[in-house]
Amino acid sequence: MSDDIRKQYPPDGNPRETFEGNRFEDARMQRVHDQLMRERPEPSENFAPLPLALTVLVMFLCVWAGLYLAKYTFEFDPFHYNEDRAANAVADEGPKEVDMMALGKRTFSQNCVACHQQDGQGQPGVYPPLAGSEWVQGNPKRLIAIVLHGLAGEVHVNGETYNNAMTPFGRLRDQQIAAVLTYVRSTPDFGNESDPVTEDMVAEVRDETSDQSEQWSQDQLDELYPIDG
């Protein structure tokens, strides 16, 4: 029998070189199996729903936050903010007195200071001054009309010429317009000493000029609301 045939068909009891001679014995196989069984599975990303108690708590906090904001923020209007108001104080249903000078100064800072400057001196040749201006201290209706519908083109203030455009501020409430004009007409900071402007005056001019769709020119104002009118 050739050597090749002996390798392929060995005598009984003799293992073949390629398989039986290298086979695992039972004890070793068991050890490998035990080690594999002890291995933890690879981590995987799965969806885990929130616990029911946590879900209910989050929903309760959202509802509470909405009710709190609705009750205490006054529609987020900054003019209603009062840091001295007690958290559980009963709201006064009666009319509230508004400090028109304080409201006017705040409105001026938010809408007017960029052009007319903090001291009311304006910018030479561009934005006319409010301090010591005959336009400010004269006919209040003229001033109200300008705030409501704006002003464009060449204007002459205190003997100086200015040529630019003022944005209409008709979006402001009558109270805000009355307050800011009261402020610029009477604040010591500008050296003006004119009478205050009321909400009724603003409402009257708003109604009178409801058809005005463009910014005023000086000629239109001189005809409709002269400075000394």
User: In sequence order, what are the residues at sequence separation of 6 or more whose Cβ sits closer than 8 angstroms to the Cβ of residue 30?
Assistant: none
In total, the chain counts a number of residues equal to: 229
Is pLDDT of 53 > 80? yes
Q: Which pLDDT does position 86 carry in this prediction?
A: 55
CA atoms of 10 and 103, how far apart (whole Å)? 111
Q: What torsion do the CA atoms of 67, 69, 70, 73 make, to the nearest 10 degrees?
A: 150
Please, which pLDDT band fits residue 180 given cuts at 50, 70 and 90? very high
Q: What is the mean pLDDT of the segment spanning 61-76?
A: 75
Q: Which pLDDT does position 94 carry in this prediction?
A: 57
CA atoms of 225 and 210, how far apart (whole Å)? 15
Average pLDDT, the chain: 80
Query: What residues does CATH 1.10.760.10 cover in the chain?
Result: 100-224
The reply to whether CATH 1.10.760.10 applies to domain 100-224 is: yes
Q: Which residue has the higher pLDDT, 104 or 73?
A: 104
Please, which pLDDT band fits residue 19 given cuts at 50, 70 and 90? very low
Q: Which pLDDT does position 34 carry in this prediction?
A: 73
pLDDT tens-place string over residues 32-47: 777 777 766 666 666 6
Q: Which pLDDT does position 139 carry in this prediction?
A: 92
